[in-house]
Chain A
Amino acid sequence: MQSIISKGKNVEDAIHIGLNLLGVSKKEVDIEIITQETNGFIGIGKKQAVVRLTVTNELSKNIEVQSHSTSLEDLANTVTAMVEKQDVMNETPVNNHVSSTDLVGKSWVKDQRLYVVDSPSHYSTVTIGKGIQLIKNEEVFSGTSTVITEKDLLEIKLEEPQEEPTKWNVSIDNNKLHATIDVEPGYKIIREVQDVEPNEHIELKVRETKVFSNTLQYKEILEKLDALRVSYGFNHSEIMKSVNTLIPGRFEAATGKNAVAGKDGWIELNVDINPMNGLVEDESGKVNFRETKLIPTVEKGTVIATIHPPIPGKPGITVTNEPLPARQTNPLIARTGKGIIEIENKLVAMESGRPSIEIRGKLVKAAIVPKLIHYDNVNLTSGNIHFIGDVEVLGEVEENMLVEAEGDIFIHKSVSAAKLTTAKSIVVKGNVFGSELESGKNNMLIVELGHLVGNMLVELGKMIAVVKQLMKSPAFKSSDFSVTGLQPLLKILMEKRFRNFLISAKKYQDTVEKSKIYLKEGEWIKVSETINQTFITLSNQITTLDRLATLYQDMKELSNQSEVPVEPNSYITISDTVNSSLYCSGDVTIIGKGSINTKIHAGGIVKVHGVVRGGEVYGRMGIEIDEVGSNSGSKTVVAVPHDQLIKLGRVREGTILKIGNVTETIRNERTHIIARLNQDGQINLT
């Protein structure tokens, strides 16, 4: 049998092409229309007409009979072929390429077509891979494996080529300093059936090819930038890159000019105000108490400092051509205390004495500190000493006595079972026995209060949000606010929801009340009073949302202020100490024999030139001790934060080293060690 399958743009055309190929007339063939042509939509889905022409003369029929039974030659001639992307298809060209004997009972794929040659003894099988549809006799085959024969009309269908368009976007960042193009070039996935060598069993597999194409146009970007009102700082080369890229990328289409930061106001000191060298060792390691250059002094009329005004920054330009203001620069605020006046940004001493300058954030406090010299012992006869300036005691401080000063405290002899408290520094030349020394009390307080204010601030913020939310609730009337203020509401809120706030508020108030004399900054007290009126006593004063907002701002200011460390730091320098407690916001230095069973807390470095036996030593900025530990077994703890070092000349068995949260007990006596945390978070001794 001679039969061919022919394709044409319509049925008529397909028949015509087929007849030409066979070289016969229309009367000599049977015509079977396999597929009508489809026009599709703008070329997509267009399919050609397919017809099968079978020659009907006797000779041909004979051949057909033969071929089915015997002739291998003719068997090959009856290869049924699948048609895809071919105008005309028949079995003969395939026949030319392969030796027909090898093909019996086999199928194969070549050039997107599926071929098969029958065998009397077995059938050819095919497995259909993912993404392929086998259309067998005009029906979609749904299984994964099937038998195919020459008689089958086979067609392979693949998924349509997958296309993704080029995706792109232009965005401007929050500061309007950068306009960026994000491009993801489009692609097309073309699918083809892989060629398979003739075999009894074959598998149809898809080969996918991904072709990238970037359809983004320069013009499109410019239009988009125009729509976003970008008009400054174009980077044309970057835009070109974004148009040409075949890989996803980000390009900066325009760049603004950032503002140049200015400089806040600052203070320039003309005199030495830092009496840190209270007691110093000479070359031989001895300390000469006669050489205490403790107090720098100034004469009347001296310019002690210059306050420089802030230097404004330079504004920048956004990509939308708007000016970008530079960060506001703040002037330094000078508060002049006793004995100081401010003339044309200069701080001038009006009295002779020790200048004291305290800088905290934007605030500078300057004063000439008066000095009290007590020529005798501090005891029941003299009474306790409270003084707003420096205090120098030439004698001893006896049992149960108190020395409280705003300036430095200098004790020439010993301190026994007494208490020394100051906002500044303490120097004791004698023994400190069973006493309590606090220097930098102000700082300690402010850290504590700052912590409380920080807690309250978070709660107050939430409270304001709740009140605002409430006022928006449809069933809530805020008419009574004008009569009673927020008080009734706050009372309910304090009952449960903000109970923690009330606890913090009471604690804050207590702390402020107890330490009023150290709080030279009125703001802490002012906030305390407002909190009391608003939340604790619920006074008759009408509370408004604005009042809460103002309080919030004030508290925020204080919270920020408390986070700025005060400078210069206070210090404690003493000779020896036994059974005492030393608190200092700065360095603690012990220059005599050492410290026995004493608790030391330093915001700075702890340096001990003698022995530390028993007690706890904490140095926020590190610790240096000549000898530590005891043979009697009293517990000695040496602690620093995780990022600091402990340097020890000699450390005895049983001493506990603590760095951050890690603790290590010394098992054997060692000399010259430096303890620090290693990268694994363990204590490393070298």
Chain B
Amino acid sequence: MLKYTITKEEYTVKVTLNGDLDIEGTELINDKLIPSLLTAKVVEVSLEQVPFVDSTGMGLLMNLVNTLKDSSITITISHVREDVFEVFELLQLPEIFGKEVFV
């Protein structure tokens, strides 16, 4: 089951996702995480603790990135595991989000 921890600094919110980013995380991301981030200026998401993803999970990530971008919030995604990034690249997520999102 997916969990997340948030540490807030002045303008930057750090989010660490923990667990598989999959269909079971739909409510958590869409209903809880996204609304709580809309007040931030900069959001840094760490995927260090995410070993597996599924297609719904990537859709959630896309929704997260697009929603924050629409609200003019800068978002970065970091510490993506190699295996997971391979999946992202197959779907060309870096091209969709913009290469600057992945750090």
Measured CB to CB, the residues of A under 8 A from B are: 466, 469-470, 473-481, 483-484, 486, 488-489, 491-493, 495-497
12 sampled A-B residue pairs with Cβ under 8 A: A470-B91, A473-B86, A473-B87, A474-B83, A475-B86, A475-B87, A479-B22, A480-B55, A484-B55, A491-B59, A492-B91, A497-B91
Tell me, in angstroms, the Cα distance from A589 to B91 when the chains sit together. Answer: 54
Known: A475-B52, A475-B53, A492-B91. A480 touches B58 (CB 8 A): no
In the bound complex, residues from chain B placing their C-beta under 8 Å from that of A488 are 55-56, 58-59
* Contact among A473, A486, A492 with B83 in the assembled complex (CB-CB below 8 Å): A473
Verify B55–A481 contact, CB threshold 8 A.
yes
In the bound complex, residues from chain A placing their C-beta under 8 Å from that of B87 are 470, 473, 475-476
A233 to chain B, nearest CB (A): 48
A485 to chain B, nearest CB (A): 9
Verify B23–A484 contact, CB threshold 8 A.
yes
In the bound complex, residues from chain A placing their C-beta under 8 Å from that of B95 are 496-497
Tell me, in angstroms, the Cα distance from A495 to B59 when the chains sit together. Answer: 11
A463 to chain B, nearest CB (A): 11
Q: Is B1 an interface residue (CB 8 A)?
A: no
Q: Is B84 an interface residue (CB 8 A)?
A: yes
In the bound complex, residues from chain A placing their C-beta under 8 Å from that of B92 are 495-497
In the bound complex, residues from chain A placing their C-beta under 8 Å from that of B58 are 488-489, 492
* Contact among A469, A474, A477 with B90 in the assembled complex (CB-CB below 8 Å): A469
Taking CB as reference atom, which chain B residue is nearest A490? Answer: B55
Tell me, in angstroms, the Cα distance from A481 to B57 when the chains sit together. Answer: 12
Tell me, in angstroms, the Cα distance from A469 to B90 when the chains sit together. Answer: 8
What 7 pairs across the A-B complex have the smallest Cβ distances? Answer: A475-B83, A489-B55, A480-B23, A477-B54, A488-B59, A488-B55, A475-B84
Interface centre among B53, B56, B57, B58 (most CB of A within 10 A): B56
Known: A492-B59, A496-B96. A466 touches B23 (CB 8 A): no
Tell me, in angstroms, the Cα distance from A243 to B45 when the chains sit together. Answer: 72
Taking CB as reference atom, which chain B residue is nearest A486? Answer: B55
A461 to chain B, nearest CB (A): 16
Verify A477–B91 contact, CB threshold 8 A.
no
Given A473-B86, A480-B55, 15 more contacts at CB 8 Å?
A470-B87, A470-B91, A473-B90, A475-B51, A475-B53, A475-B83, A475-B87, A476-B52, A477-B20, A477-B57, A478-B54, A480-B22, A486-B55, A492-B96, A495-B96
In the bound complex, residues from chain B placing their C-beta under 8 Å from that of A493 are 91
A598 to chain B, nearest CB (A): 49
Tell me, in angstroms, the Cα distance from A479 to B25 when the chains sit together. Answer: 13
Verify A476–B96 contact, CB threshold 8 A.
no
Q: Is B2 an interface residue (CB 8 A)?
A: no
In the bound complex, residues from chain B placing their C-beta under 8 Å from that of A473 are 83, 86-87, 90
Q: Is B93 an interface residue (CB 8 A)?
A: yes
In the bound complex, residues from chain B placing their C-beta under 8 Å from that of A478 are 54-55
* Contact among B22, B59, B86 with A477 in the assembled complex (CB-CB below 8 Å): B22
B62 to chain A, nearest CB (A): 7
B59 to chain A, nearest CB (A): 4
Interface centre among A476, A478, A486 (most CB of B within 10 A): A476
Q: Is B81 an interface residue (CB 8 A)?
A: yes
Tell me, in angstroms, the Cα distance from A477 to B91 when the chains sit together. Answer: 14
Tell me, in angstroms, the Cα distance from A94 to B88 when the chains sit together. Answer: 86
A474 to chain B, nearest CB (A): 5
Verify A476–B53 contact, CB threshold 8 A.
yes
In the bound complex, residues from chain B placing their C-beta under 8 Å from that of A469 are 90
Known: A475-B83, A475-B86. A480 touches B54 (CB 8 A): yes
Taking CB as reference atom, which chain A residue is nearest B20? Answer: A477
B77 to chain A, nearest CB (A): 15
In the bound complex, residues from chain A placing their C-beta under 8 Å from that of B51 are 475
In the bound complex, residues from chain A placing their C-beta under 8 Å from that of B91 are 466, 470, 489, 492-493, 496-497
Taking CB as reference atom, which chain A residue is nearest B93? Answer: A492
Encoded as 1 (CB less than 8 Å from any A CB) or 0, chain B from 17 to 40 comes to 000101100000000000000000
* Contact among A470, A484, A495, A497 with B56 in the assembled complex (CB-CB below 8 Å): A484
In the bound complex, residues from chain A placing their C-beta under 8 Å from that of B96 are 492, 495-496
A543 to chain B, nearest CB (A): 11
Known: A486-B55, A488-B58, A489-B55. A479 touches B90 (CB 8 A): no
Known: A466-B90, A488-B56. A483 touches B23 (CB 8 A): yes
B29 to chain A, nearest CB (A): 13
B2 to chain A, nearest CB (A): 12
Tell me, in angstroms, the Cα distance from A493 to B52 when the chains sit together. Answer: 19
B10 to chain A, nearest CB (A): 34
A27 to chain B, nearest CB (A): 87
Taking CB as reference atom, which chain B residue is nearest A480? Answer: B23
Taking CB as reference atom, which chain A residue is nearest B86? Answer: A473
Tell me, in angstroms, the Cα distance from A474 to B96 when the chains sit together. Answer: 22
Tell me, in angstroms, the Cα distance from A497 to B56 when the chains sit together. Answer: 17
Tell me, in angstroms, the Cα distance from A491 to B59 when the chains sit together. Answer: 8
In the bound complex, residues from chain A placing their C-beta under 8 Å from that of B57 are 477, 480
Known: A470-B91, A475-B81, A497-B91. A492 touches B86 (CB 8 A): no
Interface centre among B23, B54, B83 (most CB of A within 10 A): B54
Tell me, in angstroms, the Cα distance from A489 to B90 when the chains sit together. Answer: 11
Tell me, in angstroms, the Cα distance from A496 to B86 when the chains sit together. Answer: 16
Tell me, in angstroms, the Cα distance from A495 to B88 when the chains sit together. Answer: 13
Tell me, in angstroms, the Cα distance from A480 to B2 when the chains sit together. Answer: 15
Known: A488-B58, A489-B55, A492-B55. A470 touches B90 (CB 8 A): yes
A291 to chain B, nearest CB (A): 66
Interface centre among A475, A477, A491, A495 (most CB of B within 10 A): A475
B18 to chain A, nearest CB (A): 15
Tell me, in angstroms, the Cα distance from A493 to B23 when the chains sit together. Answer: 18
Taking CB as reference atom, which chain A residue is nearest B51? Answer: A475
In the bound complex, residues from chain B placing their C-beta under 8 Å from that of A496 are 91-92, 95-96
